[in-house]
Amino acid sequence: MTQAHYRPALFDELDRCRVWIEAALKYSGGTHDWYDIVAGVLAGNFQLWPKEKSALIMEIITYPRKRVLNVFLGGGDLTELASMHDEVIEWAKKNGCTGAIISGRKGWQRAYERHGWAPLHVTLQKEFEA
């Protein structure tokens, strides 16, 4: 990691949130590990949204016809995570997004329905050897 990419305050905040992020990673289907998240946040590819008792990890995905905020990890206090809703959506709008998606366990649906979120599709997974 070059000096230009090392930001001590951000790294300290990632470390403070590590327990919540790693707990969420257990449900990610093996797509990322802790070091992938740290590298993505420090490189600016992922956004860390920390709170007192929880944290979100997000990224912006640009599809051919739409730009969306992808909230793909969230850990800690679910009520606190849901309280970030308006602030996160406003940030997404300011960054050119016209929608957002959340990947997570069913508890997310219950927590976010009051904000107008509805299921889009079900994600199924099958593991196999290459």
Length, in residues, of the chain? 130
Give the distance, in angstroms, between the CA of residue 40 and the centroid of all CA atoms in the same chain.
11
For residue 89, give the CATH number of its domain: 3.40.630.30
pLDDT band for 23, please (50, 70, 90 cuts): very high
Examine residue 66 and state whether it is found in any structural domain, yes or no. yes
Q: Residue 119: what pLDDT?
A: 78
Give the range of the structural domain holding residue 18, as residue numbers without chain letter: 3-115
Partners of residue 84 on adjacent β-strands: none
pLDDT at 112: 79
* Mean pLDDT confidence for 75-84: 92
Token pair belonging to 26: 């257990």
- Residue-averaged pLDDT of the chain: 87
Dump the DSSP string for 73-112: EEEE-HHHHHHTHHHHHHHHHHTT-SEEEE---HHHHHHH
Is this prediction's pTM over 0.85?
no
Q: Which residue has the higher pLDDT, 35 or 8?
A: 35
